[in-house]
């Protein structure tokens, strides 16, 4: 079976991925293609089978670490359709193609329903959002995801997974575990509330809501964008991958011991009985905020964000990551886990 004309046309060899990851780490793919349809995707996968190429899927490149040469075929979705499936008195169901830009989808989502407003301005694609179970300001993508469809690479079988099968947790899902690197998401179905009931539990959003005349979906999205822009650097200007470390989850007794030693430590009790700690606070207290090691550093306004000057490679970033982890472990006895995945 020969590749379709569209698939053959889109295929590029020795493709530079430097501008396709928000940290701007240098890397090249043996082969790269964007697929615009399911049939084109299948044709590209058939080609990869014939060539014996491993296959990797690349979204917006905002939560990955590239390390030099990438063997095989790297695929990106160019499918950007949005379709209303229907609903009931409380919810609307909307199917969104994986290639849609996440922030653009959040802005459009208010035409159909509500719930995603707090996730505005998060970089990346819709297809990548379930992998990380992206979240911000009290909301997670998994809260509003009904199901997703895609192809499992190891079996070449199409699968539709319900939200429960995705095993969403804090910055986690089945796609970072059993299905890590083994699933191409092609479509996500969201279940949005018809009624606008904003989550304003995050301190700055609560303060804003108390000082504004009316909280509307558009106003909330604008305020979320303002808060994120104030706190986080624009990856187009300063290469970064957003929050680099997960906020660690510890037992209540460990949190109590740490607070006794460090009274200003922010803690966030969880429904599970455990406690979430603020990784940014730990990193800042360990003396890393604003510090640089060569071409990589810690953002001077948000210690949770690692940045580069555009000249860094994976080894330099890894060196900084490990230095921060050692410092926090030595000072607080807490292990930090990075959010971005090595590609």
- Domains within the chain, CATH numbers bracketed: 5-77 (3.30.43.10), 82-193 (3.30.465.10), 240-342 (3.90.78.10)
- 339 in active site: yes
pLDDT in tens, the chain (343 residues): 455 555 565 899 999 999 999 999 999 999 999 999 999 999 999 999 999 999 999 999 998 999 999 999 999 999 999 999 999 999 999 999 999 999 999 999 999 999 999 999 999 999 999 999 999 999 999 999 999 999 999 999 999 999 999 999 988 999 999 999 999 999 999 999 999 999 999 999 999 999 998 999 999 999 999 999 998 999 999 999 989 999 999 999 999 999 999 999 999 999 899 999 999 999 999 999 999 999 999 999 999 999 999 999 999 999 999 999 999 999 999 999 999 989 8
Structure token pair of residue 270: 């969880």
Q: Give, rounded to a whole angstrom, the gap between the first and last alpha carbons of the chain.
A: 29
Structure token pair of residue 53: 């190429």
- 243 in active site: yes
CA distance 216 to 39: 41
Q: Is the pTM of this model over 0.75?
A: yes
CB atoms within 10 A of CB 103: 18
- 284 in active site: no
Which of the following is catalytic: 43, 76, 109, 243?
243
Which of the following is catalytic: 24, 56, 93, 171?
171
Which of the following is catalytic: 117, 140, 223, 339?
339
């Amino acid at each position: 079976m020969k590749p379709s004309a569209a698939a053959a046309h889109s295929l590029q060899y020795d493709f530079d991925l430097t501008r396709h990851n928000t940290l701007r780490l240098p890397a090249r793919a043996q082969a790269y293609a964007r697929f615009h349809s399911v049939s084109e995707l299948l044709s590209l996968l058939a080609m990869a089978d014939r060539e014996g190429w491993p296959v990797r899927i690349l979204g917006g490149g905002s939560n990955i670490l590239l390390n030099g040469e990438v063997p095989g075929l790297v695929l990106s979705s160019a499918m950007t359709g949005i379709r209303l499936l229907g609903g009931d008195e409380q919810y609307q169901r909307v199917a969104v193609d994986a290639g849609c830009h996440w922030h653009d989808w959040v802005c459009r989502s208010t035409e159909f329903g509500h719930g995603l407003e707090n996730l505005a301005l998060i970089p990346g694609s819709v297809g990548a959002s379930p992998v990380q179970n992206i979240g911000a300001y009290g909301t997670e993508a998994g809260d509003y995801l009904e199901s997703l469809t895609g192809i499992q690479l190891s079996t070449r079988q199409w699968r539709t997974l319900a939200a429960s099968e995705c095993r969403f947790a804090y910055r986690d899902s089945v796609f970072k575990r059993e299905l890590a690197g083994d699933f191409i998401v092609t479509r996500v179905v969201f279940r949005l509330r018809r009624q606008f009931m904003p989550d304003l539990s995050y301190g700055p959003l609560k303060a804003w809501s108390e000082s504004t005349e009316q909280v509307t979906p558009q106003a909330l999205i604008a305020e979320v964008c303002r808060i994120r822009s104030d706190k986080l650097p624009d990856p187009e200007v300063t290469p970064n991958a957003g929050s680099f470390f997960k906020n660690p989850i510890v037992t209540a007794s460990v949190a109590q011991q740490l607070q006794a030693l460090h009274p200003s430590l922010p803690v966030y009790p969880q429904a599970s009985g455990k406690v979430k700690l603020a990784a940014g606070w730990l990193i800042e207290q360990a003396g890393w905020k604003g510090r640089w090691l060569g071409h990589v550093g810690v953002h001077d306004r948000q210690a949770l964000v690692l940045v580069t000057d555009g000249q860094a490679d994976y080894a330099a970033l890894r060196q900084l990551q490990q230095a921060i982890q050692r410092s926090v472990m030595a000072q607080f006895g807490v292990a930090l886990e990075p959010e971005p995945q090595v590609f």
